[in-house]
Structure 1
C-alpha cells in the first residue's frame, strides 16, 4: 500500500463518473426540461478529436454547449462523442473525460471544475483558465448568432451569472 490516499484523484474519478452517468441518461432519454450543459475541455488533449479548423481556432481550450441541437451522442467509459452545430455546420467531437476542465448545467446551478497540478502556481493557488473559448454560444449557437464567433480570453464564470 502507498504512503497516502490520493483523495484529489479519487474525487476527480468520481466526478467524471457522474458526468458519464448524466450523459448516458441524456443519450437514452434526451435533455429534460431546461437542462443544458456548458462543457469546457482541453483541445490539445492527445485523445480529443475535433476538426482541424476548430483546433486551429481553439488551440488550448474550447467551451461547447449541449442544448437545442446535438446529434449522435455516444458515451463510453473513457469519454463521449457528439455532433454539434457550429454556424450551421455540424461537426463531430470526441471529448475524453480527463480533457474536461468544467462541466456546468446553469439551469440548476450545478458545476464541476477540474484542476490539475499544472494549473497551480508556486503558492498552490489555482490559476484561472487561459486561452480562447467560444463563449456561451458554444457548439450550438443561436440562429441569429455570428457563425464565426470572435476569439476572446477565457474567464472564470460564477454560477451566479446563470441564476434566474
Structure 2
C-alpha cells in the first residue's frame, strides 16, 4: 500500500484558522487588549454563515467587519464565532464558520492572514491529494503599505516548488 504525501496547504489552513479561533476566544473572555482590533472578511455564501437577510442583500458575496470599539456578544465555538455589530444603527448578530473567513488582520500588530477559499471548502484529514498553498501572511492586512528597506517581505513558497 502506497502512502500518500501530506497536504501541507490544508494543514496550514487548519492551523491558522485555529490561531484565529484562539485569539477571538481570548477576546471573548477578556476583551480587546490595548490598541488591538481586527478586520475580518468572510464569504456570505459559505454554508453555515448566518446573517440577517437585509444585510445579506447588501453584501451577497462577501462581508468585511471590524471588531474594535462597538461589538458585543462575541462567542467562539470550535468551528465558528458569533458577534453582534451595528450596521447604520441597526444591530445584527452574525454567525461565521471559521472556514468562511477569507482574511483576518490585526493592524495594531501588522499581522494578517489570507485564506485560500478552495482549501476551506474541502474536508479530509490533511493528507493525500495535491499540495496547495496555505494561508498567506499579509503584513498590515488591508491597505498596508509596501515594505520599505529593513522590513520583511512575504515570499510565496510556490516559487520553489518542483513541478
Please state how far the C-alpha of 1:114 moved relative to its aligned partner: 0.2
1:51-110 CA distance string (max 9 Å, x none) = 101111111101000000111111000110000111111100001000000001111110
Inter-partner Cα distance in structure 1 for 2:145 and 2:82: 29
SS at match of 2:145: helix
| Inter-partner Cα distance in structure 2 for 1:57 and 1:73 | 23
Alpha carbon RMSD of aligned pairs, Å?
Answer: 2.1
Structure 1 Cα separation of the partners of residues 92 and 143 of structure 2: 29
Paired residues, number: 126
Partner of 2:142: 157
> Which one scores higher on RCO, CA 8 angstroms, separation ≥ 6?
2
Task: Give the distance between the partners of 1:99 and 1:15, measured in 2 at CA.
Answer: 13
Match of 1:53? 54
Q: Match for residue 150 of structure 2?
A: none
SS class of match (1:71):
strand
Q: Write the distance in 1 (CA, Å) between the matches of 2:113 and 2:66.
A: 15
- Report if the CA contact (8 A) 1:44-1:60 is conserved: yes
The offset of 1:160, in angstroms, is: 2.5
Which protein shows a greater Rg? 2
The residue that corresponds to 1:129 in the other structure is: none
